[in-house]
Amino acid sequence: MASVSNQYIEQEDWLRDLARAEIHPDAEEILNLGKASDPQQLVSDATTKFLNELRDHFNRSIKIFNSYSEQGQKFLETKIYNIAHSDADFMIYRNQVKLIVSNAAHGVIRFSFLNHLGNTFSVEGQKESVVGTKEHQTVPEHNQEIVAQIGPFRNVFWTFQGEKVGADQVAKFYFIEFIKLTRKTKKSKTGNQLLLEEIKTLLQEKGFDI
């Protein structure tokens, strides 16, 4: 094989560490290059990677969703922020409601819906800093979690209620739920006129002749 693309090499860190250990066998133990086989480290690394994947999916959905907020049909835009003092935690914000996506415990990623009520927030009694502000949790029953599991070949995968899940489907589900939850009710016109106009617009977009 003449060459390997730089992109492939960057994605396969385990090959880089394996090659380093091959070149300098005595340095492997000193530099702890074998940490990749440690279950605790495997889960920690996988958690950060999965959170970053979730954030990428959310960010992509937010950009596309917000692009539909056009003149004359403007709606509340959604924003995404990093959570301070964390490796990869982040939050989604719209209409005084937040969806916090966090590494709640080792191998656990939590999704928490929070209402904005002032200057503090609490997740199970633990106050955290979020981009310079603090909130107070008002809907703890909305917390849900996905859990990491290690497969037979030291591969880490994520589960919800025992079922394997992927970052794309998880991000899609929670983004839809978040938008529905934060949707601002529009003031109705006379009777159901506004609703009828919205239905008419949707039917026209689907190709129906109205």
In a domain, 202, yes or no: no
From CA 58, how far away is CA 65, in angstroms rounded?
Answer: 10
- Same structural domain, 101 and 171: yes
| pLDDT for 130 | 39
Question: Which pair of tokens denotes residue 46?
Answer: 């996988």
Do 52 and 79 belong together in one domain?
A: yes
Opening angle at CA 50, ends 169 and 109, nearest 5 = 85
Please give the residue range of the domain that contains residue 3: 1-37
Is 206 within the bounds of a domain?
Answer: no
- Which pLDDT tens digits describe the chain residue by residue (210 residues)? 444 445 454 567 778 878 888 887 776 665 555 555 688 888 999 999 999 999 999 999 999 999 988 755 788 899 999 999 998 999 999 998 999 999 999 999 999 998 865 333 333 333 333 333 444 434 444 689 999 999 988 889 999 999 999 999 999 999 999 999 888 755 544 456 666 666 767 777 767 766
Residue 210 within a domain: no
Distance CA 121, CA 88 (A): 19
| 204 in a structural domain | no
* Same-domain check for residues 75 and 156: yes
Question: What's the total number of domains in the chain?
Answer: 2
> Do 30 and 59 sit in the same domain of this protein?
no
Torsion of CA 54, 86, 29, 15, to 10 degrees: 20
Buried b (16+ CB within 10 A) or exposed e, 120-154: ebebeeeebebeeeebebeeeeebbbbbbeeeeee
Query: Do the beta carbons of residue 79 and residue 94 sit within 8 Å?
Result: yes
Structure tokens belonging to residue 88: 């990869």
Say whether both 52 and 114 belong to one domain. yes
The per-type count for the chain, helices as H runs and strands as E runs, is 6, 9
pLDDT of residue 24: 79
Residues 52 and 128 in one domain: yes
